[in-house]
Structure 1
């Protein structure tokens, strides 16, 4: 395997690897859309967290070893095959259909295979790195083996019990990162690491645009449908602007100013952990837009005056709220800045479901587009004013705790 250097950028091999994750995200949206209840949303969040962990494992590995080198590329293709199998089982992971392999068990076994391949690849990537090998051993014993056992147990269960057991596995896995520590793990190229995660945000945003098309598939295109599609695109554009114009560069700059374990901890907190709710927020909004477009297009069963109902009504604006609060948390962890615009907007969107259930779906989508656009512009102006007030200098480093 070929080690990377500072200045390393994302390789085509990694973009190829992400194609499977694109499909996985669409499957999570389909999992929620098939049964949009609060319990199913929690279950979908658990599945997304497990899939996200699989992706993050190889984002970290690709930062220290070139993904287009012969050995690692072979591993990546093998992982792609396993992740494809995982993705195929997602829609049936809580409602296994008879006549085929047990979907929950296949999901868990494939997930375990991905985690094992990751740890083995890390182990052989640096034969003489004792600190890394110690971290790999601790991770295997504390953060991989116990959750895998719980996932196996949960695969034999159903309903609420299955989701709770799997949720416990996710908690142990995620919290285990803090128990095993940051020593041994490293971020060689901050630019590569930031770019890698920005691309996955693009994938999530792209899936939300796909959801618009899927929502109207097989239905006639009308003026309200075109208006709703345009409003949905404005929502996605607003989220894109918030991340790529006002968030991503600041996080990358901060990551580049740090070294050693301080850089590793920031990468862990900002990218591995806080980018998950960013992606989850987009997926939730995609669910809301998919259902809204379907309802607007299906004039034979719905009237244009009819609002969205239940979980779907909350997901439309609530997903944006999750995204905004995650963005505010990233700013706080990166630069120590508290964004009143993002926090207020996030809380407002989380509570907007109470209004969405009272107004027509098309109007709700148009109002959400206006709100996201306004928040993006307002936050950009405040950030620009703050930068001008400091002479356009880079923000002072935020003291690590």
Structure 2
């Protein structure tokens, strides 16, 4: 599932980059983007069996997405986009080629699994994958679009609370169990968008030398966003189990999903902010440590710890931004 997240997010970033460089003003461009959206729908419904029965549908949809992406890029008048596309296209095509029948043998075999990971890792780590020459990327749109998709991820994670409590009698304990992860998710959202972080990100990209700007965009809104999304997904999976049995101790994997998911998200957040935020590092450690509480005490106790950590984090950073406060590292 981690591989699927990585390759799908890679092309989402590619389309954010594309629509910055080639605004969809022409009818032909808009039509091709609609075709890509249809392909993304097919891709989405193919994900549950992407390595089994639906591998052809997944590969075909991904192929359409890649070809539309490159085709629209080639219509731009900017020379760096036309010249860079042939360098990126072969590696983008690697994913649909690797999903052909026989690529994945899902029977237990550490050797086979390692080779699949290594082959897919080429897409994101092979030298020459990235075109780091200057690009006419509009920084404000890039920061804004990636923030919006993070909001969608937070919203979807709320669904896990409803799924976990579906069919259960609504009791005071169940209400508390539902409210605590809502506080946690709201706090994580608050922390990401609080203050002038988006403006600072835009300013950093705007003032950076072109080559460094491109690298910062790829690493920050490409690679660093993977632990952000991965953390939200893992946290939501753990919360779904936790809210269903709030007074019981969680299994070790479920407790680790709750605490580790939030810790992973915070680590990604720190990396996105160039690793300078010590308060979020402390919060990540505390979130991971909450795993012990969930496994030995109860689910609701661990959820309460996470909510408290997020509230204290947001409060501390808010005070640091006030006049006379400790300078914020954001």
Shift of 1:351: 4.0
> How well do the aligned residues superpose, as a CA RMSD in angstroms?
2.6
Matched, 1:67 2:61: no
* 1:177-233 C-alpha deviation (Å, 9 max, x unpaired): 76443115441x211111000101101110111111121223222211211111011
1:245 corresponds to which residue?
194
Seen in structure 2, the aligned counterparts of structure 1 residues 371 and 171 have a Cα distance that, compared at 3 Å, is same
Matched, 1:307 2:255: no
Which residue of 94, 107, 110 corresponds with 2:58? Answer: 107
Instruction: After TM superposition, list the pairs within 5 Å mapping 1:45-124 onto structure 2.
Output: 45-67=2-24, 69-93=26-50, 96=52, 102-124=53-75
1:321 corresponds to which residue?
263
The count of aligned residue pairs is 327
Whether the aligned pair in 2 keeps the contact of 1:321 and 1:345 (CA below 8 Å) is yes
Shift of 1:84: 1.2
1:152 corresponds to which residue?
100
* 1:80-139 C-alpha deviation (Å, 9 max, x unpaired): 211111111222335x4xxxxx2133222322221122111111233xx44322311111
1: CA distance, partners of 2:66 / 2:220:
21
1:376 corresponds to which residue?
314
Gaps of 5+ in 1: 1-43, 97-101, 297-303, 396-401
Which residue of 256, 264, 275 corresponds with 2:214? Answer: 264
261-270 or 152-161, larger mean C-alpha shift: 152-161
Gaps of 5+ in 2: none
Whether the aligned pair in 1 keeps the contact of 2:58 and 2:96 (CA below 8 Å) is no
SS of the residue corresponding to residue 83 of structure 1 reads helix
Matched, 1:349 2:284: no
SS of the residue corresponding to residue 157 of structure 1 reads coil
Seen in structure 2, the aligned counterparts of structure 1 residues 386 and 268 have a Cα distance that, compared at 3 Å, is farther
2: CA distance, partners of 1:116 / 1:380:
45
Seen in structure 2, the aligned counterparts of structure 1 residues 47 and 179 have a Cα distance that, compared at 3 Å, is closer
Matched, 1:254 2:211: no
1:280 corresponds to which residue?
230
1: CA distance, partners of 2:103 / 2:163:
30
* 1:323-376 C-alpha deviation (Å, 9 max, x unpaired): 1111111222xxxx6222111221332343233211111121112111111122
255-264 or 44-53, larger mean C-alpha shift: 255-264
2: CA distance, partners of 1:308 / 1:69:
54
1: CA distance, partners of 2:80 / 2:325:
40
1: CA distance, partners of 2:285 / 2:318:
19
2: CA distance, partners of 1:328 / 1:386:
24
SS of the residue corresponding to residue 75 of structure 2 reads helix
Seen in structure 2, the aligned counterparts of structure 1 residues 185 and 122 have a Cα distance that, compared at 3 Å, is same
2: CA distance, partners of 1:164 / 1:82:
29
Seen in structure 2, the aligned counterparts of structure 1 residues 69 and 166 have a Cα distance that, compared at 3 Å, is farther
SS of the residue corresponding to residue 88 of structure 1 reads helix
Whether the aligned pair in 1 keeps the contact of 2:135 and 2:214 (CA below 8 Å) is yes
1: CA distance, partners of 2:45 / 2:277:
40
Whether the aligned pair in 1 keeps the contact of 2:183 and 2:307 (CA below 8 Å) is yes
